Amino acid sequence: MPHGYHGKILTIDLSSGKISEKALKEADVKKYTLGSGLAVRMLYDDAPVGAPPLSPENPLLFLSGLLTGTIIPTACKMSVCSKSPLTGIWNEATVGGHWPAEFRATGYDGIWITGKSPKPVYLHITDTVKILPADDIWGKDTYETGAALQARHEKHLVAAIGPAGENLVSIAAICFDPPNSRFAARAGIGANMGSKNLKAIVVKGQGKRVSVANPEKLKTLLKEQIPTIKENAKALGEFGTSGGAPAVESFGDLPIKNFAVGAYPDVVKISGQAMREKIWVRHYACWACPIGCAKIVKGELDGFGKFEGHYPEYETVGMLGSNLLVNDLYLLSYANELTNRLGMDTISAGSALAFAIECYEKGKIDKSDTGGVELKWGDAKTVVELLKMTAYRKNKIGEALARGVKEAAEMLGKNTAEYISHSKGLDYPAHDPRGHVSMTLSYATSVRGACHLEGLTYFLDRGVPAKDLGVTTPPNQFDENGKPKIVFDMQNFMSLFNPLGLCKFLFHARIGHAQITEWVNAVCGWDWTPEDYMKTGERLFDLKRLYGARLGISKKDDLLLTRANSYPKKEGKAKGVVANLPKMLDEYYALRGWDDEGIPTEKRLKELGL
């Protein structure tokens, strides 16, 4: 009996209705772990190279992390992976909450879904696996879908798409555990699910937890380490990720008015501290999490209605808040819930709305494109109506925004590409790379496009040490020297979190790869060293790069476009900063063992066992 994993993947062809199982090889699990690590191996080997992202032939994978469902702190994550409808390349959208651990207790490590159902369906996974009709819930929002299915299947957990996923919106997301909502959100993964006429997946664990090789050793380690994790991450527990918004603004890192402005003191009005004072209801935590950064909030936006559910995370504060010049906490929270209900990524939604408002402001679009709505910064009607237009592909601007900002700019023309910021088609999250030059390089080289989670280097600049990597004092946030090595190390370190099923806030809690290696060995009975951890992280990063290279990704795509790296800010701490990306890129390629076109060399692939 294997330790740390069940050894089987559920395979479902929605076109034929065939349900079967695929056995996992121990050698593959040791080499790639699970989550997005094994997912990229499977897609690279078994997915049709030329299959369009929304075609029946393109697989959609739900893969638990290797440690998910154990008692290890934050071992709650699952990676949802496919070819992205937004970017056309690799995508991993990772989610926590309780659904992934509940799913894993059914006895499976993941799901491989192909085909397209002739009619809307949902999956029901318990001690049996069923494909059930979803005609009566098609068209419902994510919260309504969750409530309907939980009433039908008591004490089951739900993952569902909303109208945006049904309408194949390229920034659609998948909502897990509504209304205590966690999302697999980025790069349009909800549209992948909608393209298969798959409305939801309902799960109820059967007590089939993975076997732990050395449970007493694991308990001893955690008894010592959990108090330290709680202490180091106590600010996250108190105010959530949104509590960091004022500090982010002070570093010159906050997106403001579509990344055009460098300072925004009003961010305190929409911060986690303001939420705690005015709309907070209670804390809650993901599976096995001692940090408890999640919050439930409740309130009402005058003239629009009530909201109650998951609070606006920092990324939402940045993208639907300061990036739109929204300083009204109630508008931000209502917009957050509306986006969640519609089933869209709040990051990309904020990017899209800011683009639309600037286009209107600059005279590139008018009321004939917006259904008569006047678009204004910080305005409730503007935000609410644009979100609905996008999810339902309504009016010219809704159809454009539903494609994501890169294609929206191409559709509208008139030099509107000057108003967007993206890398490889994925728009920037709520971290301005001019505020941390290491993020310029990290965004440019991230496998799925502009991603703040593939490197997390800005944590170092703010004083979070990475002792296992030799970083004990904060680097200068604007100095390019040494940053390629930092990005290389941090990407390799972070590359294994999603495959292991761990939350990256463990790094904020000062957990390094030496401690994580001990956890893996206790669960799986392996004899990994910290060096094995880092080599595996590099192997998975390079395998994802190879997947991208197969689809045409190379040095020409390792760019940041356009505003948030081309134009210096006129105010704020990052005033005047524009990083020298080409200089850093050459040094980074050398560290990775990639050739001049950004492709892993045969020598390096052999060293990594690829």
* 159 Cβ contact list (under 8 Å, min separation 6): 99, 174, 175, 176, 177, 200, 201, 202, 203
User: Are 59 and 112 in contact, with CB atoms under 8 Å apart?
Assistant: yes
Distance CA 601, CA 113 (A): 33
Alpha helix (H) ranges present in 432-524?
437-445, 457-461, 483-494, 497-500, 505-508, 513-524
Sign of the Cα pseudo-torsion (230, 231, 234, 235, in order): negative
Contact 210, 525 (CB under 8 A): no
Structure tokens at 282: 């209670």
| Two structure tokens written together for 155 | 């004490």
Q: What is the pLDDT of residue 45?
A: 96
User: Torsion angle, CA of 91/96/98/102, rounded to 10 degrees?
Assistant: 40
C-alpha–C-alpha distance, residues 62 and 81, integer Å? 7
Question: Which residue ranges in the chain fall short of pLDDT 70?
Answer: none
How many Cα atoms are found within 13 Å in the side-chain-facing hemisphere of 208?
18
Rounded to whole angstroms, the Cα distance separating 563 from 424 reads 15
CB-facing half-sphere around the CA of 519: CA atoms within 13 A: 25
**Degrees (nearest 5) of the Cα angle 43, 429, 439?**
90
Nearest to 108 by CA among 198, 25, 39, 206: 206
CB burial of residue 244 (10 Å; 0-12, 13-18, 19+): buried
Phi, psi of 30 (to 5 degrees): -70, -30
Q: DSSP letter at 476?
A: P
Inter-CA distances, 72 with 101, 122, 517, Å: 12, 31, 12
How far apart are alpha carbons 463 and 510 in whole angstroms? 11
The pLDDT tens digits of the residues spanning 458-499 come to 999 999 999 999 999 999 999 999 999 999 999 999 999 999
Would you call 213 exposed, middle or buried from its count of C-beta atoms within 10 A (0-12, 13-18, 19+)? middle
Cα 174 to Cα 572: distance, rounded to the nearest angstrom: 36
- Report the pLDDT value the prediction gives residue 243, as an integer from 0 to 100: 96
Look up residue 132 and give its two tokens: 């059930």
Neighbours of 518 (CB within 10 A): 16
Strand order in the sheet with 121-125: 129-133, 121-125, 198-203, 157-160, 174-176, 182-184
Burial zone of 154 (CB within 10 Å; 0-12 exposed, 13-18 middle, 19+ buried): exposed
- Write down all domains in the chain, each with its CATH number in brackets: 8-203 (3.60.9.10), 240-413 (1.10.569.10), 427-494+529-607 (1.10.599.10)
Name the DSSP letter for residue 305.
Answer: E
d(CA 231, CA 253): 26
Type of residue found at 332:
L
Q: What is the pLDDT of residue 562?
A: 74
Examine residue 56 and say whether the peptide bond preceding it is cis (omega within 30 degrees of 0).
no
Cα atoms found within 13 Å of the Cα of residue 369, Cβ hemisphere only: 19
Residues 324-361 pLDDT 10s: 999 999 999 999 999 999 999 999 999 999 999 999 99
Residue type, 509: A
Q: At what angle do helices 405-412 and 346-361 cross, to 10 degrees?
A: 20
CA angle at 180 for the pair 175 and 183, rounded to the nearest 5°: 30
Q: How many residues does the structure list for the chain?
A: 610
Is the pTM above the cut of 0.85?
yes
